[in-house]
Structure 1
Amino acid sequence: MQDYKRLAELVQERIDGFLAHKQSELQPLGSEISELLTASRNFLSGGKRFRALCVALGFRAVKPISFDLPLSRSAHSVILAATSLEFFHAAALVHDDVIDNSDTRRGLPAVHRSFEGLHRQQRWRGSAEEFGLAAAMLIGDLLQSWSDEIMQQALHIAPTEITKRAREHYNRMRTEVALGQYLDVLEEQYQGFADHDTQMDRSTRVLLYKSAKYSVEQPLLIGAALAGASLEAEKTLSRYGIPAGVAFQLRDDVLGVFGDTEVTGKPSGDDLIQGKRTVLATIAREKLQGPHRRLFDDMHGDPEMNPEQLAMLQRTIRDSGALEQVEKMISGNVSLAHREARGVEIHADAVESLINFADRLATRNS
């Protein structure tokens, strides 16, 4: 994993360099835009870099790559593609916080809350809340635009014959994330849970398209395409990436209910307060009967829920056996990913890294 630590450092260097260039390039627009650039820089500092790592893993699954200096042309292309996905991920999180009306991200005020605070601090006219929302949406749009710009740079470096496939995966990822986010928003408009089978189908589709595929499968495929992967190799990586991504998001669902605020940077039980109909919540509701289910329905999504009620709802979900079932689902998906990582289409140098990565996705605590 030392090589991937080096990758994270190189990606951060590219992020810092790109933003420094933009700051200079956009100087004629005036000092007013500095707040947007500062917010972008702060949001892109640090993070787990899972998607960047996936790009490198996807390439390495097809052929070896080194991030030692001097960097090869392929390494430059992979680093730029990985940087592009970090910009895209940042944009998705900024927009997601607006959609979910979240107050915090990584233990700090969400971007829209930060700009809302700026408006109040400066005592500007109009609505501070509306200004915060507008600024955050524009920052998200800006980050998406920059993601595309950086991906163009990555594909310009890569040999012409392989760029088409990488671009197709990138475009598909962007489309699926937007539609997955819409499915999530739509889910919140329904009056309540559907019958169990219908609800599980809807919750699983949100999980898959809003997060699982774009977090693991599509970044892997972009990296593999940059290495000139065969269609068979891409299919194997998809069969690895989807269960690994599902395990990743199921763990996220668990953390959204039981996570430690000090570690996750998000309020404990936030998914319960927001009324997210996740796979975990859907399974828990199905297991509860009579007054216990009615209590769950009354409390789930209550923005006025106090800490004692939240603790009781968390305990109810745990006691129902839903958490145990989701943990088994996570383990099952990791096992599927392990099996595909050992496939004949995967380069031997990448097998252990892919197996370790699936484990890391499934056991994270933030």
Structure 2
Amino acid sequence: MYIEQRLADAEGIDPLFARDVAERVRSFALRGGKRLRGRFVWWGWRAGGGAKAGPGVRSALRLGAALELIQTCALIHDDVIDGSSLRRGAPALHVAFAEDHTRSGLCGDRADYGRSAAILAGDLALAWADDLVAKLKIDVAARARVHDLWCSMRDEMVAGQYLDMRAQTDDSLSPERALQIAHLKTALYTVVRPLALGAALAGADEPLASALCSAGRCAGVAFQLRDDLLGVFGDPSLTGKPSGEDIRSGKLTYLTAVARTLSENAGDTGSQRMMRQALGNPDLSDAGLEDLRRLLEDTGARRATEAEIERLVSRSQEQLLQASLPQPVHDSLSALLGTAARLPLTDKASS
């Protein structure tokens, strides 16, 4: 297994580095998650003509594994940026490193140490992902297509994360802005690019790749809107991350942007005041969070978000029909797109 070889390489560099950093990256990558990106690579490849028993299977699987590693990087760094304490039902990596600092009696600030070590761990996961893609045994044309898409995806991932962070500090509060960030941060990275990478690996033509990407774009935005709902209404014991974290950090989501717009249109100054007091308040109490949940229900924001998810899911299925896929491939990809977009509030959101 590739990741085991990289762990052995790390051991050869330095045993402490291997134990503290490389092993944590390995454990994080293999623990939990829905493996959506790898599954979309696989079905993009199958849609492009890849045969499940053909010679390209190994490359498709390794490309999917590379996406899981870049996702590992993204989640580790995201938790540092957001100050999240929990991921996939366990302490976030920067928290785990901080706990190591305390146990080992190291000098310096434990929180700074934890964040710095986690950033390095995320960098290592990204390096492993890039190396895995670079070593794919594919022809020159396929390599060029995959390389270009991979580079675009990395840039988009960073841009989406930056805009998401920036939106917490400015007045970008409209539903349209929230959808733009959802498209860049989540739809492209989670669904569109993985589908495109798989199709490129298989040598799919432009019309087919375009239809797949259009279907993936709608499903990917729906996926983010569902994740926004999970972040507020989901059960932490099932989602694997704290409830209300997006509220306390002041993250711009379609859900809260719609609530703000609806309350403004209705002239509901009480709801507007409550949102101003709650959004971005790290000390918001559990009772205050529950009050905000009721507000999101009462304003119709939750209902509007769920309606937008359903609209995007329907549009995704319409776009998928344009790809004219063999029925078994169409059915499997259709089900995967629907599953990604309609994750129930009791499903695991450890993306």
Give the TM-score normalised by structure 2.
0.93
Distance 1:285 1:174 in 2: 32
Unaligned runs of 5+ in 2: none
Amino acid at match of 1:19: I
Worse overlay, 290-299 or 316-325: 290-299
Deviation of the 1:344 alpha carbon: 4.3
Whether the 8 Å CA contact 1:61–1:349 is kept in 2: the answer is: no
Whether the 8 Å CA contact 1:60–1:349 is kept in 2: the answer is: no
Whether the 8 Å CA contact 1:269–1:314 is kept in 2: the answer is: no
**1:151-190 paired onto structure 2 within 5 Å:** 151-154=133-136, 157-190=137-170
Whether the 8 Å CA contact 1:64–1:349 is kept in 2: the answer is: no
- Which of 14, 28, 34 lines up with 2:12 in the alignment? 28
Aligned to 1:62: 48
RMSD after superposition? 1.4
Distance 1:233 1:343 in 2: 8
Distance 2:113 2:323 in 1: 54
Aligned to 2:308: 329
Whether the 8 Å CA contact 1:63–1:347 is kept in 2: the answer is: no
Instruction: Point out 4+ residue stretches in structure 1 off by more than 6 angstroms.
Output: none
SS of the aligned residue for 1:26 comes to helix
Distance 1:27 1:62 in 2: 39
Distance 2:7 2:209 in 1: 38
Distance 1:62 1:319 in 2: 46
Aligned to 1:348: 327
Deviation of the 1:150 alpha carbon: 0.5
Aligned to 2:22: 37
Matched residue count: 339
**1:1-366 paired onto structure 2 within 5 Å:** 17-33=1-17, 34-45=19-30, 46-66=32-52, 72-154=54-136, 157-190=137-170, 192=171, 194=173, 199-288=174-263, 289-364=268-343, 365-366=347-348
Unaligned runs of 5+ in 1: 1-16
Whether the 8 Å CA contact 2:232–2:246 is kept in 1: the answer is: yes
Distance 1:20 1:64 in 2: 27
Quick one: percent identity of the two aligned structures? 33
Whether the 8 Å CA contact 1:169–1:218 is kept in 2: the answer is: yes
Distance 2:323 2:175 in 1: 33
Aligned to 1:6: none
Q: Relative to 1, partners in 2 of residues 1:347 and 1:258: Cα closer, same or farther, differing over 3 Å? A: same
Q: Relative to 1, partners in 2 of residues 1:63 and 1:298: Cα closer, same or farther, differing over 3 Å? A: same
Deviations 1:79-129 (A, max 9, x none): 110010000011000000001011110111100010000001101011111
Distance 1:125 1:136 in 2: 17
Distance 1:76 1:247 in 2: 30
Give the TM-score normalised by structure 1.
0.90
